[in-house]
């Protein structure tokens, strides 16, 4: 694990302890109701199949989202936000977890 990743995890743990001790309020994450999955995938340079395989989606999900037939749920939108912000880090974390 890189020092940067460890630092972020440690920061999160410190925040969780502060919330548990009622020293601070928990952060709120704004998850937009709409996501442009095609644009997020395009930024990664992956095909629909590659994007699905890399990040744990099904190709069917990716196609449905990109064609506007379905929308990602709240948790999926939060995950897509993380992928959009830093896909390489997300891929590294997924590889480490496997």
Buried b (16+ CB within 10 A) or exposed e, 5-26: eeeeeeeeeeeeeeeeeeeeee
CATH among 3.30.360.10, 3.30.479.30, 1.10.260.40, 2.60.34.10 for 31-98: 1.10.260.40
Residue 23 has pLDDT above 90, yes or no: no
Q: Could you give the CA distance from residue 93 to residue 57 in angstroms, rounded to a whole number?
A: 16
The overall average pLDDT reported for the chain is: 90
| Boundaries of every domain in the chain | 1-30, 31-98
Listed in sequence order, the DSSP H helices in 1-98 are 3-20, 37-44, 48-55, 59-66, 74-85, 87-97
55-85 pLDDT, tens digit each: 999 999 999 999 999 999 989 999 999 999 9
């Amino acid at each position: 694990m890189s020092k940067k990743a460890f630092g972020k995890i440690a920061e999160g743990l410190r925040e969780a302890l502060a919330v548990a001790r009622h020293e601070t309020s928990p952060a709120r994450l704004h998850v937009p109701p709409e996501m442009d999955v095609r644009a997020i995938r395009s930024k990664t340079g992956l095909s629909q199949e590659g994007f699905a395989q890399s990040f744990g989606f099904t190709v069917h999900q990716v196609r449905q989202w990109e064609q506007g037939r379905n929308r990602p749920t709240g948790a999926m939108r939060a995950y897509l936000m993380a992928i959009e912000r830093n896909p390489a880090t997300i891929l590294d974390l997924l590889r480490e977890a496997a």
